Amino acid sequence: MLCLILTMSIILSSVRSLLFLPVVTLTAPIVISQPIPPYQEHLFGVFNNALISAPKTSLPMVLEGTWVNDKNNSASSKNLAIISINGATADVYHVGQSLNGLATVTEIQSKQVIINHNNQEESLPLPVEQL
């Protein structure tokens, strides 16, 4: 077996020299990653101050539901909101879209939508029924 390995290496080195191919040695760096301690992980998500900072809107709108595809970016155009305006049939809106000229959607979160109304941020929360 050792003879076969030595013979193969001699043949390969002679073929390389005939073809004038450079010998390339690839090395990969060894990365040692440290595990993240449990107290540094965000087990229940990251606190988002926007949930409490924007006052509730007084516009005649009802948030029927949200679809959050990108939970790390509430301003993502992938997130969708189902909003009813003035009691009309609900429509689907995304970030940057106008709400019948009354306001513009700026963020869509899982439980509320942040809108820009007269250059003021306001929140449109999902309705919560009292038990």
Q: In Å, what is the CA distance from 106 to each residue of 60, 76, 86, 115?
A: 18, 9, 20, 5
Rg (the chain; Cα; Å): 30
Q: What's the mean per-residue pLDDT of the chain? A: 75
70's CB contacts (< 8 A; 6+ apart) are 76, 78, 79
φ and ψ of 117, to 5 deg: -120, 115
**Domain locations along the chain:** 50-125
CATH number of the domain located at residue range(s) 50-125 in this protein: 2.30.30.830
For 11-64, how does the pLDDT look when each residue is reduced to its tens digit (9 = 90+)?
555 555 555 555 555 555 555 566 666 666 655 555 555 455 789 999 999 999
What is the per-residue pLDDT for 61?
A: 95
Total-model pTM: 0.58
